[in-house]
Amino acid sequence: MKKRNLKERITLDPIMTLLILILITIVISGFLSLIGVQVTYNTISNDISLEYTQGLVSVESLFSLSGLKYIFTTTVSNFVSFTPLSSLIIILIGIGVMEKSGFLKTVVTLLTKKTKKTTVTFFLVLFCLLSSIMGYLPFVIMIPLSALIFSYGRRNPYIGIISSYAALTIGTGLNIFFTSSDSALLTNTLLGAHMINPSYTLGTTSFFGIMTIALILVAFAITLITENYIAPRLPKYEFPETEMEEEFTITNRELKGLILACGAGLLYFLFFIYCIIPGLPLSGALLDYNEVFYIDKLFSATSFFSNGFVFVVTILFIILGFFYGIGAKTIKNNKDLCDDLGHSLDGIGKTLVIIFLASTFISIFKHTNIGEVITAALTNILTIDSLGAIPLIIILFIISALSTIFLPNSSFKWAIMAGIAVPALMNVGISPEFTQVIFRFGESMTMGLSPLFAYYVIYLAYLEKYNQNKKPINFFKTLKYQLPYSVITGIILLAILIIWFIIGLPIGIHGVVNI
């Protein structure tokens, strides 16, 4: 009993935990730099010569005058440019209109009133997994919406937040469709392949088969973990008495609002789709024509689509909420609309503080190069001679999983790993495309366990927002919620890799396991 009371007294608020992590990072970087921690690894020159060059990465100290200058001169700019912050604020404006007008409640009631709880969870998880084609934007959309969906269904909002975050993080590496992330990885995969076979080629459909099977199995696994393990262990969520007493019924007024909203939303959606179809009169205005693949034309760093997508989705949400409100008479004048626009932004002061400290922690940790040092050191294990094909598959999977905790960025990781991993596995008969799949499966396993992942802060902030306990949400408990998903899906994904390799099935269209 005394131990439990002591544990309750020392429970740290997420804000305090982030401050401690920042201080620990500063001290550790100073120590590692002092003892000269650095790692060399092989990289491939990105030119016609295709020669190995020695890459060197060392720990940068923040426990120094120059390190402190970096912290003080970049903290504000890092916070202002922190993508999850701006994306969340803008998206919440649209979600606020949909929520306050009643549009969300009506839609969720229609879709889920006579649907089994497990079915709702499964389709939410499946949608989150599939939404990886849109990059990281679904994190700022689906986590808030998932909380509301479960709340409207009289279930603990924590279930929606936890399961959607698990699906979104695991889904970052399980892409049925060829994404902009896959395109970036493919460049380094081909560089590694050309060290062994200069004429090796890869297509955009090379991963379709294995990714489809993995995504379906993982969707069922996440659903079962959520309903049978996570949900029963969560603290009881108390709904306001007024919400519990009144049962929401959909009248003709709500249906009229819904029809009006869907009509307006459909017209906007069709106009938007027309703007991303190349080759039609006055169409394709949102694409970046400097890119080769269509997915890169959509999601490249300079495309109008990519840079404006958050705003485009927010306008869609506002249109849906506004026209529903007009039809259902929940929006009667301009004051109602203006109040709705700010509804979801009420009480997010603590969320902003959490995001500020998280952006600082991520920025300074990245500056230290600790994640890159760990990734390079682990990757060098692949250079050990006499390793067979299956041991190499397992080792690369584990290396990818471990390095993701310290370096979540896929492109940075693969830029370090591909020059060693791809040739090493080709030498034992494993194709470059299968090697990239191993890497993607490995990072999918632990992306949700990394507090250095930029969108983890959205997950943390929403758990804190819906926390009804007098104690703050424990920082490490947020990661503990994700651990069952990580372990089970990791086992499933590794089993898929080994079985697929043994059978030798094609992993996609023109994608093979063995060469």
Q: How far apart are the C-alpha atoms of 284 and 79, rounded to whole Å?
A: 33
Q: Is the pTM of this model over 0.85?
A: yes
For the stretch 379-432, pLDDT in tens is 999 888 778 899 999 999 999 999 999 999 999 999 999 989 999 999 999 999
For the stretch 486-502, pLDDT in tens is 999 999 999 999 999 99
pLDDT, position 49: 59
DSSP 323-366: HHHHHHTS--SHHHHHHHHTGGGTT-HHHHHHHHHHHHHHHHHH
Beta carbons of 368 and 95 less than 8 angstroms apart: no
Whether residue 123 is predicted with pLDDT greater than 90 in this model: the reply is yes
DSSP 82: -
Residues contacting 109, CB < 8 A, separation 6+: 152, 248, 250
For the stretch 78-120, pLDDT in tens is 998 898 988 899 999 999 999 999 999 898 888 887 889 999 9
Cα of 30 vs its chain's centroid, Å: 31
Beta carbons of 174 and 443 less than 8 angstroms apart: no
Dmax (CA) of the chain = 74
Structure tokens that stand for 448 in this block: 């949700």
HEC sequence for 6-58: HHHHCCCCHHHHHHHHHHHHHHHHHHHHHCCCEEEEEEECCCCCCCEEEEEEE
Residue 6: pLDDT band (50, 70, 90) is: very low
Beta carbons of 435 and 421 less than 8 angstroms apart: yes
Average pLDDT rounded to a whole number, residues 359-386: 92
Q: How far apart are the C-alpha atoms of 415 and 225, rounded to whole Å?
A: 34
Q: How far apart are the C-alpha atoms of 278 and 294, rounded to whole Å?
A: 9
Provide the CB-side half-sphere exposure for 374 (13 A, CA): 19
For the stretch 225-262, pLDDT in tens is 999 999 999 988 887 765 544 566 778 888 899 999 99
Beta carbons of 503 and 512 less than 8 angstroms apart: no
